[in-house]
Amino acid sequence: MTNLSDIVSSAYWRINPPDADPLETREWLEAFDALVAAEGRERATFLLRKLLEHARARLVPMPPVFNTPYKNSVSLAEQPQYPGNLELETRLSSIVRWNALAMVVRANRAHAELGGHIASYASAADLFEVGFNHFFRHDDLVYFQPHSAPGVYSRAYLEGRLSEERLSNYRRETAGNGLSSYCHPYLMPEFWQFPTGSMGLGPLNAIYQARFLRYLTNRSLLKAEEANPRKVWSFVGDGEMDEPESLAALSLAAREGLDNLVFVVNCNLQRLDGPVRGNGSIVQELEGLFAGAGWNVIKLLWGSDWDALFARDEEGVLLKRLHETVDGEFQMYAATDGRFNREHFFNKYPELQALVADMSDEDIDRLRRGGHDPVKIYAAYHAALRHKGRPSVVLAQTKKGYGMGNWGQGKMGTHQQKKLDDAALREFRDRFALPISDEDVAQLRFFNPGPDSPEIRYLKTRREALGGYVPVRRTASQALRTPALDTLGKFLEGTGREQSTTMVFVQLLAQLLKDPELGKRVVPIVADEARTFGMQTLFRQSGIYSAVGQLYEPEDHDELLYYREAKDGQILEEGITEAGALSSWLAAATAYSAHGTPMLPFYIYYSMFGFQRVGDLIWAAADSRSRGFLVGGTAGRTTLAGEGLQHQDGSSHLIASTIPNCRAYDPCFGYELATIVQDGTRRMLEAQEDVFYYLTVANENYAHPGIPPDAHEGILRGMYPLRRTKDAKLQLLGSGPILREVIAAADLLQKDWSIAANVWSVTSFTELRRDGMEAERARRLGGKSESWVERCLKGAAGPVVAASDYVSAVADLIRPYVPGRYVALGTDGFGRSDTRAALRDFFEVDAKHIAVAALAALDQRLAADAVRRYGVDTGTRAPWQR
């Protein structure tokens, strides 16, 4: 039977087969060394390439080239001098570690339900501290690992930016003086810049952030910084790298040559439940992935005290031993002491046993992994920043729960460890040589050496040298003047020409792009659907952004509206990645904060592939206080017609309603759309409100009337009257394209039943709902208030029937505020392909079904007549059961 270590060793030897003729090998290597010495590295690389080509031609199989040995990429010879005061920095990092730990343990002693994490920051502390002391410039954009937030708070406390009171209120936010669990710009708008709590989104967003920084520079909206460009840093967990989003844009980052981007993957080899790759090596796997995608990979695996061991390991036995050790074993070595490590790791081979013969068990215990040695960390970051032309990733090996001793380091359950007894806390204090009394340890008192201590003076000097603190979030930027509504006159006048709201939207966008002040700030974004929405007209006008311009003559170059790519192109054509396009939108929608440069992004996409597909990214955008427009195209379950089940959207408005700062509208007519876009632009860019807009536009062509007098307020608040007569017997409400079915139903009622109905256009059930909730709450608390729905329908005769192209729950949102009988119709069930007419019949939202519903609400007997008259099939099951 083969055991695990045989499998692993054989895998190792497949990559590194035994040397059949060491003498010959040495001769080749010496010749190569001589070449490098005489003619330089570039020439050596050239010859290697030639050799590989030659081997390929001779049909000699290639060795795997994306993996390097399990040791540091930066050799001792290349290592720069450490520029800081290591003694002070060590003391500082120990203090930060203590306060972070005390904060979490204290919160949980008082209220066990609060939760929190210690082990993640314990592994990341040195990676962060070297960044804070030497690398993170004030204007850099740093995405922090969310579960390490306690460490960032703890540092801000020493910096004097967070009070002791706030630290004491960790995870107690409702009173307004607490600290968020993770990085939440919404809840701590002056502190956190990027929400990373939902893992995988941080690394993805960071890539598009770095790309958007380039976009702004290439379009001359930001100054180019040749000498010392701003950097985007993304700290990611090794377990987090399993999220598809973490990997989704690696190739984009390399393709765009984003050398303003540095990933640091904290390879503590563990995630929440257990090892990330117990039976393999996460570092080697990630190295292959990143290198294959075209990144510069820097392995930061071993601390300085390993240098001597590697130097003495002439036969490569140490390296062999490291390669045959799977991560599950490395975790075990992290959780055990020097003696165990000697017995099980080093004593396996006599050569290794000899290598550490002069080291005590304590010495072995103190051997540090690379991510815990500031000198090695500095060398890795330094190499990353100097690398030109490609993004860099630092794969930093650490121990999860570093310094947490028997109750944490390398332990299987360490991720959730947050309750430590006094003995464990004293052990921690001793381990990090903290000058804290037993009494203070028992009380979990925060430790601050005071503003005049060498530690705090050093820390402040370092931050001053780097331009200021990190993280800091800017909440406002310059206010921009937005075009007045009358400049959109042609959209308000109406047109007899039949067109879709999508077409109206594209015309509106084209006009905004030409606006003298705003035009350059508009960012049209598509995920390979510009033609779907008839936006190819913008290709020529605005150009498609490409960092390298256009290196080919486009196939359609002789056409007027050819596919034009340009370095200063304005459109972000992302290709088929809704997650990527949404990340670009997020970067643009927060540029007012990240860069002090307000932008106006419009991301238009198949509405089904928005809230449903990338809903969590939209949630993160909301947390980020985004300002911009999301435009769900070809929207509505029956309006999209032929595309069928996975394309027809009947739910996005329901999901949109759950996001507090999202203003969602489902307009039917061009003037509604123009009114909403104009006011939205004003609110976001001029009044600087932290809201964003979701608009659905559809592809059904029809004529658009002019704006009725006095409709402006109602359009924005969510409903307004379209038709009103004194003798109306009931009220019909419709939204989006289904409004036209509602109008047709009113005509049927008049023609066939002599019943007059008022017709209301509902632009936003979700805004009406919010307004209703507010009024209801005010009344509940003793005030006086009337909702917009109540105000509109006060004194209106008869029952109210509403219909939309979304599930009936959307229209149902306003039920509590509708006086009298209310019937909500919608498109519940699975979408399917057919004509619009057939689909609206199927989902029972066409004119005749709306008329039947209205009659049934008035008088059931009338409805029975109508069912017969209109040939409604009563035998089939409901659409949501089919």
Ligand X SMILES: Cc1ncc(C[n+]2csc(CCOP(=O)(O)OP(=O)(O)O)c2C)c(N)n1
Interface residues toward ligand X, by CB under 6 A:
120, 123, 145, 147, 197-200, 237-240, 266, 268, 270-272, 276, 400, 415
Q: Name the binder of 133 from ligand X, Mg ion, none, CB < 5-8 A by kind.
A: none
Q: Are 673 and 631 in contact (CB under 8 A)?
A: no
Q: Are 376 and 303 in contact (CB under 8 A)?
A: yes
CB of 450 to Mg ion, least distance (A): 35
Q: For residues 268 and 699, which CB has a smaller minimum distance to Mg ion in the complex?
A: 268
CB of 849 to Mg ion, least distance (A): 55
Residue 213 and residue 544: Cα distance in Å, rounded?
16
Q: Name the binder of 714 from Mg ion, ligand X, none, CB < 5-8 A by kind.
A: none
CB of 147 to Mg ion, least distance (A): 9
Q: Are 247 and 206 in contact (CB under 8 A)?
A: no
CB of 312 to ligand X, least distance (A): 32
Q: Are 673 and 697 in contact (CB under 8 A)?
A: yes
Site for Mg ion in 687-716 (CB under 5 A): none
Q: Name the binder of 120 from Mg ion, ligand X, none, CB < 5-8 A by kind.
A: ligand X
Q: For residues 270 and 699, which CB has a smaller minimum distance to Mg ion in the complex?
A: 270
CB of 271 to Mg ion, least distance (A): 5
CB of 64 to Mg ion, least distance (A): 25
CB of 772 to ligand X, least distance (A): 33
Residue 855 and residue 857: Cα distance in Å, rounded?
5
CB of 466 to ligand X, least distance (A): 25
The C-alpha R_g of the chain, in whole angstroms, comes to: 32
Q: Name the binder of 296 from Mg ion, ligand X, none, CB < 5-8 A by kind.
A: none
CB of 237 to ligand X, least distance (A): 2
Q: For residues 248 and 778, which CB has a smaller minimum distance to ligand X in the complex?
A: 248
Question: Which string of x and - marks every residue 254-293 that binds Mg ion (by CB under 5 A)?
Answer: --------------x-x-----------------------
Q: Are 540 and 561 in contact (CB under 8 A)?
A: yes
Site for Mg ion in 186-245 (CB under 5 A): 237-239
Element (H, E) at 5: helix 4-15
Task: Give burial (CB, 10 Å; 0-12/13-18/19+) of 27.
Answer: exposed
CB of 327 to Mg ion, least distance (A): 10
Q: For residues 127 and 258, which CB has a smaller minimum distance to ligand X in the complex?
A: 127
CB of 270 to Mg ion, least distance (A): 5
Q: Are 242 and 282 in contact (CB under 8 A)?
A: no
Q: Are 840 and 805 in contact (CB under 8 A)?
A: no
Quote the Cα angle for 480-486-488, to 5°.
80
94 backbone φψ class: left, alpha, beta (φ>0; ψ -120 to 50): alpha
CB of 148 to ligand X, least distance (A): 7
Q: Identify which of 720, 726, 817, 737 has the alpha carbon closest to the alpha carbon of residue 769.
A: 817
Paired with 630 in beta bridges are 603, 694
Residues 6+ apart with CB under 8 A from 207: 234, 249, 250, 252, 253, 258, 261, 391, 583
Q: Name the binder of 199 from ligand X, Mg ion, none, CB < 5-8 A by kind.
A: ligand X
Q: For residues 404 and 715, which CB has a smaller minimum distance to Mg ion in the complex?
A: 404
Q: Name the binder of 198 from Mg ion, ligand X, none, CB < 5-8 A by kind.
A: ligand X
Q: For residues 282 and 508, which CB has a smaller minimum distance to ligand X in the complex?
A: 282
DSSP string, 50-102: HHHHHHHHTTPPPPP-S---SS-SS-GGGPPPP-S-HHHHHHHHHHHHHHHHH
Q: Are 578 and 605 in contact (CB under 8 A)?
A: yes
Question: Which string of x and - marks every residue 81-120 that binds Mg ion (by CB under 5 A)?
Answer: ----------------------------------------
Residue 851 and residue 846: Cα distance in Å, rounded?
9
Q: What are phi and psi of 606, to 5 degrees?
A: -60, 120
Residues 6+ apart with CB under 8 A from 197: 146, 181, 182, 183, 184
Q: Name the binder of 272 from Mg ion, ligand X, none, CB < 5-8 A by kind.
A: ligand X
Q: Name the binder of 849 from ligand X, Mg ion, none, CB < 5-8 A by kind.
A: none
Residue 674 and residue 512: Cα distance in Å, rounded?
11
Q: For residues 267 and 733, which CB has a smaller minimum distance to ligand X in the complex?
A: 267
Residues 6+ apart with CB under 8 A from 131: 142, 233, 381
Instruction: With CB under 5 A as the rule, give the number of residues binding Mg ion.
Output: 5
Q: Name the binder of 195 from Mg ion, ligand X, none, CB < 5-8 A by kind.
A: none
Q: Name the binder of 735 from ligand X, Mg ion, none, CB < 5-8 A by kind.
A: none
Q: Are 542 and 570 in contact (CB under 8 A)?
A: yes
Site of tokens 């937005």: 482
Q: For residues 399 and 769, which CB has a smaller minimum distance to ligand X in the complex?
A: 399
Q: Name the binder of 722 from Mg ion, ligand X, none, CB < 5-8 A by kind.
A: none
Residue 450 and residue 464: Cα distance in Å, rounded?
18
Question: Is residue 410 involved in binding Mg ion (CB under 5 A)?
Answer: no
Site of tokens 């079904």: 849
Q: For residues 72 and 268, which CB has a smaller minimum distance to Mg ion in the complex?
A: 268
Q: Give the SS3 label for residue 388.
A: coil
Residue 615 and residue 630: Cα distance in Å, rounded?
12
Parallel, antiparallel, or unpaired for β 600-606 and 800-803? unpaired
Q: For residues 282 and 863, which CB has a smaller minimum distance to ligand X in the complex?
A: 282
**In this chain, which residue has its C-beta nearest to ligand X?**
237
Q: For residues 211 and 271, which CB has a smaller minimum distance to ligand X in the complex?
A: 271
CA 545 to chain centre: 22
Q: Name the binder of 106 from ligand X, Mg ion, none, CB < 5-8 A by kind.
A: none
Q: For residues 149 and 513, which CB has a smaller minimum distance to ligand X in the complex?
A: 149
Q: Are 359 and 262 in contact (CB under 8 A)?
A: no
Q: For residues 93 and 331, which CB has a smaller minimum distance to Mg ion in the complex?
A: 331
Q: For residues 35 and 272, which CB has a smaller minimum distance to ligand X in the complex?
A: 272
DSSP at 256 = T
CB of 181 to ligand X, least distance (A): 10
Q: Name the binder of 681 from ligand X, Mg ion, none, CB < 5-8 A by kind.
A: none
Q: Are 504 and 491 in contact (CB under 8 A)?
A: yes
Q: For residues 122 and 800, which CB has a smaller minimum distance to ligand X in the complex?
A: 122
CB of 690 to ligand X, least distance (A): 24
Site of tokens 């967003």: 205
Kindly state the tokens that stand for 48: 């290697």
CB of 276 to ligand X, least distance (A): 6
Q: Name the binder of 123 from Mg ion, ligand X, none, CB < 5-8 A by kind.
A: ligand X
Judged by the rule CB under 5 A, the positions of this chain that interact with Mg ion are 237-239, 268, 270
